[in-house]
Amino acid sequence: MTDSTVTPDLLRRFSPLDGLKRENVAALAKKMEVRTLDGSKPLLREGDTDKRTYYLVSGTLELTDRNGNVRLLRAGTDEARNPITPVLPRRCTVRAVDRVEYISVDTELLDVMLTWDQTGSYEVNELRSDDRGNSDDWMTTLLQTKAFHRIPPGNIQAIFMRMQQVHFNAGDVIIKQGDEGDYFYVITRGRCAVTRETPLNKEGIKLAELNVGDTFGEEALISQNRRNATVTMLTDGTLMRLGKQDFNTLLNEPMVAWVDHDEARRIVAAGGKWLDVRLPSEFEAYHEQGAINIPLYFIRLKLNTLDPNTTYVVCCDTGRRSSAGAFVLNERGFDTRVLRGGLNLTSS
């Protein structure tokens, strides 16, 4: 198996990657590689639950379901524009018929980028610092952090609008052990050291070194406790910070009611409607019967096509985009539910 570089042009051949803004496609391409697989070797197995999205670049794959039904997937076809058996757990075992090339991406990262891309009015380069050094990739790195994933998707745009850029010199103390929490930080340029003072070591024990894309400071804000460590700049650098009040406000789940798939079906059977906020190409690949498709970025433009007296079960692949869509609708008085876990975790 060998790897080669992924280009933005290659990613635009696939759905929903072709729906991302140019800068975001370029950032995603840096996270991916074209990989090869020899004939007869398995790529995916039925029942797999790994959260990665796969695309076929060249060659032919054989997909076999639990009933022994076999179909072929050939690169370059309309079907191959879509992810390979995306629903979890995987419904098919996938093997290479001949030598194939494929790419894969972390599904959570892709979904966060789609949400951010469609809820924000700016692009990656507008969010980077002017003096960014090696920080070109800090936004993509941030979107993968667990700390960032705790933030409700509907608040992504507000968070970045309210973040402040601050510059520090080597040796500057950013937060000090024992102080009250005031900001949540993201490193966009430079390196920091995390140290903790102990009764036997007043100078502090070095716990970690943080780099571009790393975050810190959230623990004290969430727990309402004092800082449990000191963070000092090892080099000159730049950080983005979010104030305590904004952090706590935006960390709260928006006005969203979550339902599982069974409850969603009961709501629809009682007169509700499925509202799928994925891109049209994703919708065409698979969707709930009778669903309405309004991509997330069109929600505000299509409000007049929705019935304020209908309950909408908003859905997407994972629940991230749908929660953002429901937040917009709820602000305007619509009654919504959000499919917990998304379509990728449900069965047709």
Catalytic residues: 316
Q: What is the DSSP string of 60-73?
A: EEEEEETT--EEEE
Let me know: does 80 contact 56? Beta carbons within 8 Å. Answer: yes
Provide the sign of the torsion angle of the four alpha carbons 229, 163, 134, 130, taken in this order: negative
Count of residues making up the chain? 348
Sign of CA dihedral 144, 150, 153, 156: negative
Q: How far is CA 38 from CA 43, 60, 61, 101, in A?
A: 10, 11, 11, 9
How far is the C-alpha of 172 from the C-alpha of 239, rounded, in Å?
A: 12
CB 107 within 8 A of CB 53: yes
Residues 107 and 84: beta-carbon distance below 8 Å: no
The answer for residues whose C-beta is within 8 angstroms of residue 209's C-beta and 6 or more apart is 191, 192, 193, 194, 234
**Contact, 140 vs 109, CB < 8 A?**
yes
